[in-house]
Amino acid sequence: MSNVVTGLGSIGTISPLPKLPSLQPGEGQGGFGAVLSSALHHLNQLSGGAEQQVGNLLKGVGGDVSSVMIAVEKADTAFQMMMQVRNKIVSAYQDIEKMQF
């Protein structure tokens, strides 16, 4: 009987929980935010470049029709993708909002 009691006594100290990497305020946000803003910047560049190419085509100065059309389509596709990313972000945010603790 005493063995059982002594057995209980020698459990020892509880090992501490594994240490989580300390979360600096704004760090995680910064990483994703930087990606997002650079993508937006790239999209801006694409559509600005496409607009300029169209202007040149209409003025008769530069470019041929096919390259201008491709540039416009690229900008369009980038825009569509950005729309979808934005939708995903919004729905993810809404999912988080719905979480109850």
Among 87, 89, 92, 93, interactor with other proteins by CB under 8 A? 87
* Using rule CB under 8 A, residue 93 touches other proteins: no
Q: Please work out the total of residues on this chain that contact other proteins, with binding judged by CB under 8 A.
A: 20
Among 27, 55, 62, 70, interactor with other proteins by CB under 8 A? 55
Could you identify the residue written with the tokens 């935010």?
Answer: 33
* Using rule CB under 8 A, residue 83 touches other proteins: yes
- Taking the C-alpha atoms of residue 64 and residue 50, their distance in angstroms, rounded to an integer, is 13
DSSP 60: T
* Using rule CB under 8 A, residue 54 touches other proteins: yes
* Using rule CB under 8 A, residue 47 touches other proteins: yes
Asked if residue 45 lies in contact with residue 20, where contact means CB atoms within 8 angstroms, the answer is: no
Reported for 20-26, long-range contacts at CB under 8 A and 24+ positions apart, including other chains, are none
